[in-house]
Amino acid sequence: MTERSQFTSLLEWYRQEARDLPWRHSRDPYTILVSEIMLQQTRVETVIPFYHSFLDRFPSLTALARAPLEDVYEAWAGLGYYRRAKNLQRAAQAIAQRGSFPNQISDLLQLPGVGEYTAAALASIAFQQPAVALDGNALRVLCRIFGLRSAAQATLTRRQLNRLTLPHIPVGSASDFTQAVMELGARLCLPRQPHCLACPMQSQCLAHRQGLTQQIPPPGLARPRQRVELLALRIWHGHQILLERREEDPFLTQQWVTPWFFAPAQHRLQQYQRSFAGHSLQYVGRIRHAVTFRDLEVDIWEWHTDQPCHLSHQKFVEWLPGQTRLPRLASKVINAAPCQTNPR
């Protein structure tokens, strides 16, 4: 059985080699909450500038809790997956109302947008509580170290990894332990080609010792990427383009975006053609955009209309590139250059 001391080399490596990331300079649970929510499904390099600008704008939990939601969305614009922004503010409001930041996993799990991984990350990083934060990277690293490879093990993996890992978290070092596992998964214990020869855990890692790094973690653990086809519309009114804000958008909740639908969506296209009658429909082209585990393939159509908007959640806006801050998907749709091929 793996001994507690077997993770010492990982902690030493982390303390010497860890990347200098801005959220690692703070023990303030609010800033750690912001970083953890931003890092959900998003790369570190992408998050860093948003983390700085968001905290410049909302430097405290109270500032975030009291801000208009519009301002929060504006500060989030470009980071994607906007439900996180709404949940982050709702979490800040719940904590403000409660009067103190919860430090127990069971209480953290009550906060909007905080699931098992984020609760464990917060409890360990901000409060030094022994907890195993299992995102995709940590699952891969710990499955390899403990040699979990069978399908039967995979179904129990989270519970099993908690049971195997918790006794090895040194008292007072839970924060470093969580971040060390994350760091190892991001830099050395990579999905396809782990750098085992440079790894501080190579002599303890069962997958490495048994030559099983390609078989572990077992297939069903990683969430497969999903290909999704969408149809997006560019409806022009002179130099203005139609934007709309949708309450229940799966990717861009409450953001002003060009109309889009899951394909096939001929009937929705026809509805918009009736509402905004005008010139003939043109195929612009296809763009690709990744959102969390989905690869979106977006066919763009456009036309010009003379009709005004009648609904409060729709508006025509002047479009000059760089002038309006829009979610990246909407900007990509608007900026896509027309191609010559009509797929019909």
- Can you give the binding site for ligand SF4, defined by CB under 6 A? 141, 144-145, 188-189, 194-196, 199, 201-202, 205, 207-208, 213
Residue with smaller CB distance to ligand SF4, 188 or 334: 188
CB within 8 A of 13, min separation 6: which ones?
A: 180, 184, 200
36 is catalytic: yes
**Nearest alpha carbon to residue 205 among 134, 143, 260, 121:** 143
| Smallest gap from residue 43 Cβ to ligand SF4 (A) | 20
* Of residues 207 and 334, the one with the C-beta less far from ligand SF4: 207
**180 CB-near residues (< 8 Å, 6+ apart):** 7, 10, 11, 13, 14, 18
Q: Which is nearer to ligand SF4, 221 or 231 (CB)?
A: 221
Please identify which residue in the block is written with the tokens 């749709």: 333
Angle at 339 between CA 244 and CA 266, to 5 degrees: 50
> Cβ of residue 132: shortest distance to ligand SF4, in angstroms?
15
Q: Report the nearest approach of ligand SF4 to the CB of residue 22 (Å).
A: 26
Q: How far apart are CA 211 and CA 161, in angstroms?
A: 20
CB of 164 to ligand SF4, least distance (A): 14
Measured in residues, the chain has a length of 344
What would you measure as the largest C-alpha separation in the chain, in angstroms? 73
Annotated active-site residue in 3, 12, 36, 70? 36
Q: What is the spatial distance between Cα 179 and Cα 201, in angstroms, rounded to a whole number?
A: 15
Instruction: Kindly state the tokens that stand for 138.
Output: 């940590």
CB of 201 to ligand SF4, least distance (A): 4
> Closest CB to ligand SF4 among 84 and 144?
144
Distance CA(215)–CA(158), nearest Å, equals 18
In the bound state with ligand SF4, the residue whose beta carbon lies nearer, of 153 and 254, is 153
Nearest-angstrom CA–CA distance, 50 and 71 = 14
List active site positions: 36
